[in-house]
Amino acid sequence: MSTWLIQQTQALRLVLSRFRHNLLSTVFISLAIAVSLALPVIVYLVLDSFSGVTTTLKSESNINIFLEPNIDHTVRDSIHNILASHTTIESFIFVPKEKALEQLAQTTANQNILAGLDHNPLPDAFFIQLSTLDSQSISALTEQLRTMDGVAEVQIDNAWLKRLNYLLTIGKKAMFVLVILLGFAVFAVIGNTIRMQILTQQEEIEVSQLIGATKSFIRRPFLYAGAAYGMIGGLFALLISSGVILLFNQSISALASEYQTQFSLHLPDFNVFLTTCLTAMIIGLLSAYLAVSKSLFKSIN
Amino acid sequence: MIVLDNVTKRYPGSQEALSNASFTIEQGEMVYVTGHSGAGKSTLLKMIAAIERPTSGTVLINNQNVSKLRASALPYIRRKFGLVFQDHKLLYDRNCYHNVALPLSINGITGEDAGKRIRAALDKVGLLNKEKAMPITLSGGEQQRLAIARAVVSRPAILIADEPTGNLDKNYASDILDLFNAFQQVGATVIIATHDALGAARKQHKILHLDHGILTQPEVSA
């Protein structure tokens, strides 16, 4: 075994035995780190789940076309035929202006207004449900519909989708801020823990330096400890966030089924697992390095 | 071989702890450093062990100039020495075995090999049956011997002890000195600081006597 490997395993063993001897405090520190990490993870998973919704719901985008008033029924029929043969159209319904007026007249408030009108102001309309999410083919279709004879207006009904996207963007920014702030919290917690450990091991450090320990020999176990706190905290964070999401998912699925859809929040996948643990480990390592460099090596040299 | 040439040490804001000290210690020699407390004995030992660097002058250890070495090279020089500190500097959070294990782990020696050496060192100082005991449960003399076991476990060529018999009664003290004699007889260089000038003089060894940081001839009485 190379010297380098011996030194690493030596430091790792030391850290593990220290963790084992102070199991309770190790668990509590890791939990404190985990809570800080779990919050951004949960927010991420919620956002991720909702951006999944926007892609699936795009297929339910609607296009409404309103025809010119007094349109000839042969023109109307030809529009009907074009729509029926179009591949990007899932289905459509035709609402003649008489029916639209009927529907409008169903409420009494509107009846009063309509009573004052001498003719039906409403146009004939097609309500189209699209089969594609591709924005290019949607806009191509829209263009085609606009230029057709007898079409007065084309409306793409995706305003709510835009709003949801804006909300998601705001959510992502909030998550970013959360990651930064709580990243600092983790940094501080680990740094403080390492500083405390350095204090309790002050004598050992001093003696070791006197009898020939190098700086890296003394620094190494603390760096491992910092990274280990990060990793354990990351694992706990994934457990916490999974637990929270499972807890909420029951109610969310129930709510979604009331809207005749299926929706649930995602559980952390492998990428989330890897990102969380690696980020936490790197924060731990940096924090420990800073703590060690600041607190050690004051007594000698 | 240890050579000090015109070595002066001054701590910030105080007088010279050591002034223009020059001497040579040969491999395998037994040397006593004597003088009243505050005479600069500890400073001298720290200079030899590469713990402190001289303000001026040169310290050569096996022809390496400690004064000129990079800070990162000092730990490796220090490993050539076995140190017995005035205040033991034992670690009270671990048992005797693990106290003695410390220098070996610094040298990257662990496991079976380390175990053998640790028990050999404990055996040499007569503490083999106490390997699981915590240092706090040992008597003063036993703690001193444990400190010696830690100093010799990595088989250093040079053993340095600062007041090893300071707080011990006469019987314990002569036990400890016998131990150092035994190490010298197997070829180690032994350097002992003591304020007990008479006891040291009686031993017929080389004596470096310090008076207020200046090396002088010891007053040998009768």
Is-contact B65 B42, C-beta < 8 A? no
How many A/B residue pairs have CB atoms within 8 Å?
53
Q: What is the structure's pLDDT at B120?
A: 93
Query: Residue A68's CB: how many other CB atoms inside 10 A?
Result: 15
Residue B74 parent element (H or E): helix B74-78
Q: Return d(Cα B207, Cα B202) in angstroms, integer.
A: 10
H helices, E strands: number in chain B: 7, 10
Strands B30-34 and B56-61 turn out to be unpaired
Is-contact A243 A289, C-beta < 8 A? no
| Residue closest to B192 by CA, chosen among B30, B7, B28, B46 | B30
Q: Beta strands of chain A (E only): which ranges?
A: 62-67, 89-95, 125-130, 151-157
**A160-166 CB contacts, 8 Å cutoff, 24+ apart:** A161/A54, A161/A57, A161/A58, A161/A61, A164/A50, A164/A53, A164/A54, A165/A54
More confident residue, A97 or A224: A224
Is A4 within 8 Å of chain B by CB?
no
The stretch B184-192 carries a mean pLDDT of: 91
List CB contacts of A250: < 8 A, sequence separation 6 or more: none
A256-282 confidence digits (pLDDT tens): 888 777 788 888 999 999 999 999 999
Q: What is the structure's pLDDT at A301?
A: 42
Is-contact A84 A147, C-beta < 8 A? no
Indicate if the pLDDT at residue B162 is higher than 60.
yes
CATH of domain A62-157: 3.30.70.3040
More confident residue, B203 or A261: A261
Indicate if the pLDDT at residue B196 is higher than 80.
no
Q: What is the structure's pLDDT at A57?
A: 60
Taking an 8 Å cut-off on Cβ atoms, the answer to whether A10 and B78 are in contact is no
User: Which residues in chain B have Cβ-Cβ distances shorter than 8 Å to A300?
Assistant: 51
**If you ran DSSP here, which 8-state letter would residue A200 be given?**
H
A186-236 confidence digits (pLDDT tens): 999 999 999 999 988 888 898 998 988 988 899 999 999 999 999 999 999
**Chain B: which residues have CB within 8 Å of chain A?**
49, 51, 71-72, 74-79, 81, 83, 85, 89, 91, 93, 102-103, 105-108, 110
With 0-12 CB in 10 A as exposed, 13-18 as middle and 19+ as buried, what is B194? Answer: buried
A20-35 confidence digits (pLDDT tens): 888 899 999 999 999 9
Confidence of residue A88 (pLDDT cuts 50, 70, 90): confident
Taking an 8 Å cut-off on Cβ atoms, the answer to whether A204 and B76 are in contact is no
Å between A203 CA and nearest CA of chain B: 7
Give me the residue from B49, B74, B91 closest to A204, CB to CB.
B91
Å between A53 CA and nearest CA of chain B: 57
The stretch A289-297 carries a mean pLDDT of: 82
Is-contact B133 B145, C-beta < 8 A? no
Q: What is the structure's pLDDT at A56?
A: 61
User: Which residues in chain A have Cβ-Cβ distances shorter than 8 Å to B85?
Assistant: 210
- Across-strand partners of B210? B215
Q: Out of A17-26, A71-80, A109-118, B30-39, pick the least confident.
A: A109-118
Confidence of residue A285 (pLDDT cuts 50, 70, 90): very high
Is A3 within 8 Å of chain B by CB?
yes
Taking an 8 Å cut-off on Cβ atoms, the answer to whether B103 and A300 are in contact is no
Considering chain B, what is the average pLDDT of its residues? 87
Is A206 within 8 Å of chain B by CB?
yes
Amino acid in position B151: A
Is-contact B20 B57, C-beta < 8 A? yes
Is-contact A94 A124, C-beta < 8 A? yes
Q: What is the structure's pLDDT at A298?
A: 56
Å between A188 CA and nearest CA of chain B: 27
With 0-12 CB in 10 A as exposed, 13-18 as middle and 19+ as buried, what is B28? Answer: middle
Q: Return d(Cα B3, Cα B208) in angstroms, integer.
A: 13
B74-117 confidence digits (pLDDT tens): 899 999 999 999 888 999 988 999 999 999 999 888 888 899 99
Q: Please say whether the dihedral angle defined by the alpha carbons of residues B203, B204, B205 and B206, taken in this order, is positive or negative.
A: positive
Taking an 8 Å cut-off on Cβ atoms, the answer to whether A212 and B78 are in contact is yes
Strands B64-65 and B56-61 turn out to be antiparallel
A152-171 confidence digits (pLDDT tens): 888 876 666 777 778 888 98
Query: Residue A137's CB: how many other CB atoms inside 10 A?
Result: 14
| Nearest residue in A to B111, CA atom | A10
Å between A13 CA and nearest CA of chain B: 11
Indicate if the pLDDT at residue B128 is higher than 50.
yes
Q: What is the structure's pLDDT at A150?
A: 83
Give me the residue from B78, B93, B105 closest to A10, CB to CB.
B105
The stretch B119-144 carries a mean pLDDT of: 91
Q: Out of A12-16, A55-59, A180-184, B3-7, pick the least confident.
A: A55-59
Is-contact A38 A240, C-beta < 8 A? yes
| Residue closest to B164 by CA, chosen among B81, B85, B74 | B85
Å between A246 CA and nearest CA of chain B: 45
Taking an 8 Å cut-off on Cβ atoms, the answer to whether A208 and B85 are in contact is no
How many percent of chain B have pLDDT more than 70?
A: 94
Confidence of residue A300 (pLDDT cuts 50, 70, 90): very low
Q: Return d(Cα B147, Cα B154) in angstroms, integer.
A: 13
Confidence of residue B222 (pLDDT cuts 50, 70, 90): very low
Q: Please say whether the dihedral angle defined by the alpha carbons of residues B132, B135, B137 and B139, taken in this order, is positive or negative.
A: positive
Q: What is the structure's pLDDT at B197?
A: 59
CA atoms within 13 A on the CB side of B57: 23
The full set of domain ranges for chain A reads 3-57+162-295, 62-157
Query: Residue B70's CB: how many other CB atoms inside 10 A?
Result: 6
Q: Beta strands of chain B (E only): which ranges?
A: 2-10, 16-25, 30-34, 56-61, 64-65, 81-84, 158-162, 189-194, 206-211, 214-216
Give me the residue from A3, A211, A301 closest to B106, CB to CB.
A211
- Which tokens belong to B107? 């040298």
Å between B75 CA and nearest CA of chain A: 4
How many percent of chain A have pLDDT more than 90?
A: 33
